[in-house]
Amino acid sequence: MLVSVIIVNYNVKYFLGQCLASVQNALVEVEAEIIVVDNASADDSCTYLKTRFPFVKLIENKTNTGFAKACNAGAAIASGEFILFLNPDTLVDENAIKESIAFIKTKKNAGAVGVQMIDGSGKFLPESKRAFPSIISSFYKLTGLATLFSSSKKINKYGLGNLNKNEIHEVDALCGAFMLMYKNVFTVCNGFDENFFMYGEDIDLSYRIKQLGYSNYYLGNLSVIHFKGESIGKPNIKYTKIFYGAMKVFVEKHYAKTEAIKYATVVKWLINITAIAAFIKQWMNKKLLPLLDVAIVYTSLFIVKKTWIVYIKNGVEFDTHFITYAIPLYTIAFVLAAAIAGMYDNFYKPSKALLSSVSATVVLLAFYSLLPENIRFSRGVVLVGSIVATVLITLSRWVLLQFKIGNYQNFSLLKSVVVGGKDDAENIVVILKEFNRNEKIIANISATNYAKELKENITRLNITEIIFCTPKLSVHEIIFLIKQYNEDCCFSFYNTSTNTIINSYNKNETGISYSINGSFNLSMPYYKRLKRLVDVVASFILLLTFPLQLLFIKNGFNAIKNCWQIFIGYKTFVGYYSYNNHLPYIKPSVIQCSSTKKILDETILNQADKQYAKDYDYLTDIKLIFFNYKLLGK
């Protein structure tokens, strides 16, 4: 056996499926085995593997043992002369494995080799080649200076920014996402250090390989696509803490004690500062758009009121004391109604903003008509002010999208081209419609004549997304194309054998996988709003009639507490038996979706959770609340 490919999987079965398909193509005419160690995934990864990839040697862990321990378990049963540690969220160039093996055979002192990694948007990933961590390099990395001066030998020392990314170099550390070595070298090093649960284990192994007198090589002439972090989510403050916690373990293990203490102190302060900055940025990203709308609505109503007084009432003020509070109240009512109508769904377009604002105008007028006559001041001001606000809000969305301000992905504005066969394009349309993806697929380019046609279509039709179809197009060809067009387009990847689409438009955002079998109603904003609406209305009614709850519900006071937490958004009435990362997130619940059934089998309960998320309907929640009324105090 020449090579054993070891992949640790955790809740990314569709990324894993495409990874395995690419590895198969990269191992043609190579005596090899593929070992997948599943770290207790909750997305049916093991069933998926057994059905679609029966040739894979599968180790099913009962718990998430971490990357290092899982890799060691895979290596323990590996029979290849070489071991390749590979992440499940990668697509492997057909030449990468063979040429990596060929290279390592030419270097007597080679301990391990890695390759150039690019993310799903075609951008180079600097962790492909690294130096060992130090206080100063961590400072530059955490403060963002290393990114700002990415080619600096001093400031980006950790990322070896002075080394040409397309050439071959001897380096300190390689990335565990693609790390090839002789099995006997791995054995002599005693494998990965299992004190590293996640991150740092590859740097530690690289360090120990060098201590034994071997060299680590970065092969910049070979590439793989690494979507990065799909098992654990994208970089955030939690990621930063885990990563630098691992670096702290590395420094304590290999550096002098005084150096380790200094490192821990400096990094702790830097992480705290980074956490504050990240929190502010995250809060602004979430609240900026609603705050902008509040400002637009308030200003529109205020200006229309003043104009109305001057030109309609001839300078006579409105005769009501309520007018001081009216405009702020109407502003809040307008924005809340627009939000319920879908204004702030993740995937929006100006027409959605327009429809939501029109709905909010209708609601606001209805709200106005219900007010006592003595505090109403002018239906005309409310109507005209709402119309002005609607126009300005719609215009603001157009400006945001045209100038790409903010972090908003509008799929309906994508103009996509499929590089593959006609049958591939038809399958892709079916999958995307299942997930309410409405981008326009305006061209289908044959995989046998793509080079000239693709360039012409991108320019002529203003293409913004390319959907590549494998294996009709090789990963080698795809890598060449995404490096070429990464400034013009975003990319998705469809695989014929798995019938799935994967993408990751930005290395700082979690990628998305699409499959006909993977759609959930509770993933869609419309159903999320319906669920929240049921929670708010039901909890409000129960709080309003609280004496009855004390009378009829066991632990009535606890029921009232639950209702209050649901009303303010901390809990929900109905949830899962057991939440896992593969299901749409639901807040902690009072009752389970399987509460009306006396089920003891955990498999059936988990299946009920999936069915609830997949076929969610607001009537289901209403029925469950009604039939489990007496359990609301648990």
pLDDT for 340 equals 79
- Between the alpha carbon of residue 557 and those of residues 243, 542, 561, the distances in Å are 44, 12, 6
- Residue 324's CB: how many other CB atoms inside 10 A? 8
Using DSSP bridges, classify how beta strands 465-470 and 110-118 pair: parallel, antiparallel or unpaired.
unpaired
* Tokens (6 digits) for 67: 């990357």
Q: Is the bond preceding 471 in cis, omega lying within 30 degrees of 0?
A: yes
- Residue-level pLDDT at 98: 97
- Residues 121, 163 contacting (CB under 8 angstroms): no
Q: What SS3 state is found at 626?
A: helix
Closest CA to 431 of 371, 500, 529, 379: 500
The residue ranges of the chain whose pLDDT is under 50 are 347, 408
Pairing of strands 500-503, 512-514: antiparallel
Q: For residue 76, how many other CB atoms are within 10 A of its CB?
A: 11
* Tally of CA atoms within 13 A in the half-sphere of 1 that contains its CB: 16
Q: How far apart are CA 221 and CA 166, in angstroms?
A: 5
Listed residue (135, 134, 114) closest to 126, CA to CA: 114
Whether 478 and 493 have beta carbons less than 8 Å apart is answered as yes
| Residue 107, helix vs strand vs coil | coil
Element (H or E) spanning 125, and its range?
none
> DSSP labels for 471-513?
TTS-HHHHHHHHHHHTTT-EEEEEETTTTEEEE-S-TTS--EE
| pLDDT value of position 347 | 46
Cβ burial of 441 (10 Å; 0-12, 13-18, 19+) is middle
Distance, in Å, from the CA atom of 337 to the CA atom of 290, rounded to the nearest integer, reads: 12
489, two tokens: 């387009």
pLDDT of residue 606: 79
Locate 169 and state its tokens: 């170099």
Strands 110-118 and 90-92: unpaired
> How far is residue 1's CA from residue 506's CA, in Å, rounded to a whole number?
38
Point out which residues pair with 589 in neighbouring strands: 572
What is the DSSP code string of 181-201?
A: EEHHHHHHTTSS-TT-SSSSH
Model pLDDT, residue 181 = 97
* Predicted TM-score of the model (pTM): 0.71
As a dihedral over the C-alpha atoms of residue 607, residue 608, residue 610, residue 616, rounded to 10 degrees, the angle is 160
